[in-house]
Structure 1
Amino acid sequence: MNLKDQDLPNFICIGSQRAGTTWLHNCLDEHPEVFVPAEKELHFFDRFYDTGLASYTKRFTLEQRGPTKTWGELTPNYYQEPQALERIKRDIPDVKIIYILRQPEERAFSQYQLYSQGQFSGMSFEEVIAHKEFVTDLSMQGKHLQRLYSLFDRSQVLVLFYDELSQSPETFLKRVFTFLQVDPNFMPSTLNKRINRVVLPDLQARLAKWKLTWVIELVKASPIAEWVKEVAHKKSDKLGKSAFPDALRGRFDDDIKLIEQQLGIDLNHWR
């Protein structure tokens, strides 16, 4: 198997799920010095590894990426898959890793909102927490960070916070661009456009039940979509801890402590 090292990605965003990775993919895609495949989540290292590394490098050939300075991919499932991280370490030992962390309850609730019309249809958030263990495991970002640091040198890893993305997307993006050693002053058109946000989740669930999801699609495609998202999420952002099930109370405290220890920061506002 003839593989060209230059066709291997030199950065990978590994997660977290529901932490702005689709937005980041779109921003990176606009940067003239960065190449990312059109398909955001390649899932090579967790689902399609048996297809061979050659099938993976075909996504990053010089013909496809052109005269860019850096190229990579974003698959926000890699962080929770120990085998995926081990494979990345073995195949691309010098790769740069981007890992975005999000307040655990909020991350879980965002996942519930997104899939309330699909695999969580008909289930309350409390029921999902009680019966879908993988939802809370995806929020256990501290243990995944600890494993990441056990495999990769810290200089290869950029840890970011969804809080910063929400409050100052420009600052957030400049940190990413600086880490990737591309022009940090380039600002994409998607900078202030929030991607993959659920528009009025309660209403969407009802419309899906009534088979009227086409109505919400019209809203998403309309000029007022971003305004509707902002209004809806400003309201949801103010829900506070009382909105989360008792089953989540204190569940993430030890994991948050792990993040604090690994990064030397205070995340008391997450508790």
Structure 2
Amino acid sequence: MNDYSLKNKTVFIGIGAQKAGTSWLNDTLSNYANLITPHIKELHYFDIKWLDYELNTVAIYKGRAKELKQISSNVSDTVQNKSNEFQRKKNKSEFFLEDYLEKYELEKKCERIIALANILSIKNDIDYIRYFYNLGKNKDIIGEITPSYSLLPVEGFMNIKTLIPHAKIIFLMRDPIDRFVSQLKFKRKTRLSSGLGEYDIHINFENKLHDNSFIHRSDYERVILSIEKIFDVQNILILFYEELLFEDTVNEYRKIESYLNLEKKDEQEILSWREKKSNATEEIDIKPELKKMAGKKFKHIYEYIFERFSNVPQKWKDNYREFCV
């Protein structure tokens, strides 16, 4: 593993929470020239290794293999058709490759194929380190963001620390009720887009309050206590979704720049990123009585965060007062 040392790199691992701005963070970090993340945001290495009982591991692999097959087939068919067209031309002096690549986005598709193949080849810890070594050969800062890493047991976080002793953890927290509702909306969005039929949030709301795959993602107390057992305090950055994306974007992003040793971007550029929300879900009004049920479930999380952090976003306070008390 020493042949693939990352000791001279800044390495960060984003661990969630799901529906707390991790896709937006991943997208905005791409604006820094000396930083790189995988072409596919969520590697799912440590969660598949440690949480097989909570994840549909087979579905993750099948989904990536299916996408790889579809893109490869599309590229192959497109190249074959264009080649046949070129052969039929009487005047073959026209050089078509550059226009062709741009028109059919073949370069992007080929990059996606390579990315999928590389990720599917990660079978163990050595492969994981090798992947990042190759990814970041020409960069100073490398990292990945997989929100379900927040579900890892302490042993999973120790695995990260053992592999990358200087790894920097980034954890984004969103108001627990809002995060839970957003996950429900995302569930509905993915079902509809996959042709699996309607998904009524109000009907499923109560059931999901007893579903660990939903509830554990808002258990910020467990996550914070786990990472603090393993990582040094200077290698942990915890931010609030509401402040980073809405209330105080520039100052919060300055914390990220300082933490990762990034160049400072212009304030107006950072502010412009707020308009580029990733994986946004539709607006659906949730009945107050359902939010009160969620408030009862998450009350202890609010109270833990209020005790741990002096400046908690107003949205948290408002939701706690309205739905938890």
* TM-score normalised by L of structure 2: 0.63
Q: How does 1:51-90 map to 2 (within 5 A)?
A: 51-62=123-134, 64-82=135-153, 83-90=155-162
Superposed CA deviations along residues 137-179 of structure 1, whole A, max 9, x for unmatched, are 2112122112111221211100000111222333332221111
Q: Counterpart of 2:296 in structure 1: which amino acid?
A: G
State whether structure 2 residue 6 is matched by structure 1 residue 6: yes
Contact 1:13–1:75 (CA under 8 A) maintained in structure 2: yes
Q: Which has the larger radius of gyration?
A: 2
Gaps of 5+ in 2: 51-121, 321-325
Deviates more, 1:87-96 or 1:260-269: 260-269
What is aligned with 1:152? 231
What is aligned with 1:176? 256
Q: How does 1:60-139 map to 2 (within 5 A)?
A: 60-62=132-134, 64-82=135-153, 83-117=155-189, 118=191, 121-125=198-202, 127-131=204-208, 132-139=211-218
SS of residue matched to 1:61: helix
Compared CA separation, residues 190 and 247, structure 1 to 2 (3 A): same
What is aligned with 1:195? 278
Deviates more, 1:40-49 or 1:24-33: 40-49
SS of residue matched to 2:142: strand
Contact 2:177–2:291 (CA under 8 A) maintained in structure 1: no
Q: Distance between the aligned counterparts of 2:247 and 2:319, measured in 1?
A: 16
What is aligned with 2:53? none
Compared CA separation, residues 125 and 144, structure 1 to 2 (3 A): farther
Compared CA separation, residues 128 and 108, structure 1 to 2 (3 A): same
Compared CA separation, residues 103 and 126, structure 1 to 2 (3 A): farther
* TM-score normalised by L of structure 1: 0.75
Gaps of 5+ in 1: 203-235
What is aligned with 2:44? 43
Q: Distance between the aligned counterparts of 2:130 and 2:10, measured in 1?
A: 11
**Deviation of residue 190 (structure 1)?**
4.1
**Deviation of residue 121 (structure 1)?**
4.3
Greater RCO (CA < 8 Å, at least 6 residues apart): 2
Aligned-residue CA RMSD (Å): 2.8
